[in-house]
Chain A
């Protein structure tokens, strides 16, 4: 099975700054996704990272706040921009390993605290 890694695993940031989170897979995958999980809550899809084109954002999430890159089939980044304490969450990437565009496997997550 493939290995999905994220960097950093956790960070504490000051409000107004930005943080870029990396997601790396050890095999090529078609679909990569970014989710947010606020403390004690469920998972909410932020966007689908499309290779070679702009990400597809879900309602309530915008590119200026959460710019996403997908330069190739094994790597994606999510930036959380101009952070506020409300952005404190766990950010997870997921990938479709089986190529079916259905089954998703998650990275270990990045725990972000904004002071």
Chain B
């Protein structure tokens, strides 16, 4: 089955700096890669996703890149703000299926 590794487990940045979270996956058939943000006590919220036929996708301060050859994808947050502080989860879904496999999560802290 699919295995998703996520790094780092914690990340602390200064407000205004960029943050990068990286994930690798094992199943070359995986074709959909969402990112979720989970604030304390809240539900995971989808913030951006990318499919395997695209190398990069941007939405305002958030971008995701995908390298299918290396089987890794990354979340990039620019101009970080205190409200970006949360746990971020990457996930992958294998082609032909609907099972999401989640990474272990990254606790992002944006300091003033």
Contact = CB atoms under 8 A, between A and B. Distances in A.
Given A102-B32, A102-B93, A42 B102 contact: yes
A63 interface: no
Q: Which of B42, B100, B101, B104 gathers the greatest number of chain A CB atoms within 10 Å? A: B100
A44 B32 CA distance: 17
Interface string B1-21: 100000000000000000000
A84 to B, nearest CB: 24
Contacts of B93: 102
Contacts of B102: 42-44
Interface string A12-53: 000000000000000000010100000001111100100000
A67 interface: no
A92 interface: yes
Given A96-B98, A109-B43, A42 B104 contact: yes
Nearest to B44: A106
Contacts of B32: 102-103
B46 A103 contact: yes
Interface string B21-43: 00000000000101010000011
Interface of A: 31, 33, 41-45, 48, 58-59, 92, 96, 101-109
